[in-house]
Amino acid sequence: MRRMLAEWEKQRALLLSFPHPQSDWADDLERALSPFVKIALGVAYNQKVIIVCDNQAKISDMFCSTHNLEFVELPTNDTWIRDYGAISIEEGGTTKLLDFDFNAWGGKFAYHLDNQVNAHLHAKSYFGDTPLESIDFTLEGGSIESDGEGTILTTTECLCNPNRNGGLSKAQVESKLKEYLGARRVLWLDHGFLAGDDTDSHIDTLARFVAKDTIMYVECNDLHDEHYEALLAMKTQLQSFTQTNGEPYTLIPLPMTSPKYNQEGKRLPATYANFFIANHALLYPTYQDANDKKVGEIFKAFFPDKEIIGIDCMRLIEQGGSLHCSTMQVAL
């Protein structure tokens, strides 16, 4: 029997894919590389970090220590490895990796190189002897959350979008999630979005499992903010969800940042829900915002045994993603 592992379960390694001169980061590459280096360092002293890059010598020189770091030269289109990195499941008591089809959020950008990364890493033995299964179904890691016990949390806007698998119904998508991920049930969020988001409302920008009975979610309390009504409807729907034992979930709100804009005046999808749970630490995005410290305190209260590390992700959201989007864990 299969089950999709929860992010807080023991990890073998973290995958990162660094920006390079042929990517959309080229106009300010040095500033783009900074958060990736900090993410790698925040994880590497306790677990292995596999860095996909275009130039091993150049990237490795950016680190004062390369302990627990492995550098792999592979061509990529972009850095959002959460969405094209292999997804870890357990089957028959052993870990297996699933390589789903990636089409850059409905063909919005180039993706042919990203779609080959898992096969290359597996062929080069960076996954050890963990088997990799290729699946002809479009699914991004950022679009699904697992409690590790058979419940998948996701959004209708993304998984039922015609730009992924031709616009499947909820029932059809659930059938696929049961087949490939071992899902026993799927919780669908029908509300919630972030302005400037290219992912069609990925769940990891809105609501996240942090334990089998607890969900952290983005809350908007500004009645004049464009997100207010949709996020209020999302909160109401989360309050209606129950665990498999019939009990409601513990819900922990994460505040919105103040509005962030790029140089063209377009609002950017800043979200504190885009955090990453490592073996020893929780890394969360900061946005040079008044709520940065408050959010760190929320994480510390829930994860007292983990180091809480804030990473300035303003450069990341300029390209539409954030911290969690930049990472993908490989389970033991």
The ranges assigned to domains in the chain are 2-331
230 close to 193: Cβ distance less than 8 angstroms: yes
pLDDT digits (tens, 9 = 90+) for 110-119: 999 999 999 9
pTM beyond 0.85: the answer is yes
pLDDT digits (tens, 9 = 90+) for 165-189: 999 999 999 999 999 999 999 999 9
- Class of the 2-331 domain? alpha beta
Nearest of 18, 233, 225 to residue 117 by alpha carbon: 18
* Mean predicted confidence (pLDDT) in 97-105: 98
* Mean predicted confidence (pLDDT) in 108-137: 97
CA 122 – CA 124 distance, rounded (Å): 5
Look at residue 302 and give its three-state secondary structure.
Answer: helix
210 close to 252: Cβ distance less than 8 angstroms: yes
pLDDT for position 221: 96
| Residue 179 φ then ψ, to 5° | -65, -45
301 close to 55: Cβ distance less than 8 angstroms: no
Instruction: Dump the DSSP string for 171-194.
Output: HHHHHHHHHHH--SEEEEE-----
CA 83 – CA 325 distance, rounded (Å): 7
Residue percentage of the chain with pLDDT more than 70: 100
pLDDT digits (tens, 9 = 90+) for 71-96: 999 999 999 999 999 999 999 999 99
* Mean predicted confidence (pLDDT) in 25-54: 96
* Residue 26 tokens, joined: 């080229």
Helix (H) or strand (E) holding 289: none
Confidence of residue 57 (pLDDT cuts 50, 70, 90): very high
Helix (H) or strand (E) holding 137: strand 132-138
103 close to 92: Cβ distance less than 8 angstroms: no
pLDDT for position 94: 96
pLDDT for position 118: 98
Task: Indicate whether 332 pLDDT > 90.
Answer: no
pLDDT digits (tens, 9 = 90+) for 235-288: 999 999 999 999 999 999 999 999 999 999 999 999 999 999 999 999 999 999
pLDDT for position 202: 98
CA 231 – CA 21 distance, rounded (Å): 37
Look at residue 238 and give its three-state secondary structure.
Answer: helix
CA 67 – CA 51 distance, rounded (Å): 12
Helix (H) or strand (E) holding 35: helix 29-44
